[in-house]
Structure 1
Amino acid sequence: MGRRKIEIKAIKDDRNRSVTFLKRKGGLFKKAHELSVLCSVDVAVIIFGNNKKLYEYSSSDIGEILQRHNFVSSALRNRESERG
């Protein structure tokens, strides 16, 4: 028997929202790790919480992953603008 679907909507109670955030953040980071290991890929997850706190997971150096992302993104933008 499977789990029932939950309705996706904003959680109004601060405590429940905080608990749900922490649980789901942990699950997301676990899935990111599994994806990295199973598929031999680099993964980075960045979350900016409501409390102005930064949460991050990366399978390797996050600075290197972000540099690669910026390089590839700018190359794609340049290619698109050349096609114009």
Structure 2
Amino acid sequence: MNKYPVTIFVLISPEKDCLSAYTNNFEAEQDLKTRNAQFGYGYSIEPVSLTTTRSFYERLKHFFETKVEKQDVIEVKTVETRGEKI
């Protein structure tokens, strides 16, 4: 089985909730600056490294390349998605 390494940058709220994920640190840092300016400090960026299967990698790639109006929840074992309106 081929393994695909992926690193994403996750924006974490002061309450430790995951708010957004980015494929590059520059976009994550821009969002971090905006949120800290609007809501005060306490937000942070955490890099997350994953090793995925090809099918899961392709699904992640699709989500990060497409702007969506729904929040996509990915089931890890089946790689099925469930959309929830944002």
Fold-level similarity (TM above 0.5): no
Larger radius of gyration: 1
Give the structure with the higher percent helix.
1
Q: What TM-score results when the alignment is normalised by the length of structure 2?
A: 0.27
Say which structure is richer in strand.
Answer: 2
User: TM-score scaled to structure 1, two decimals?
Assistant: 0.28
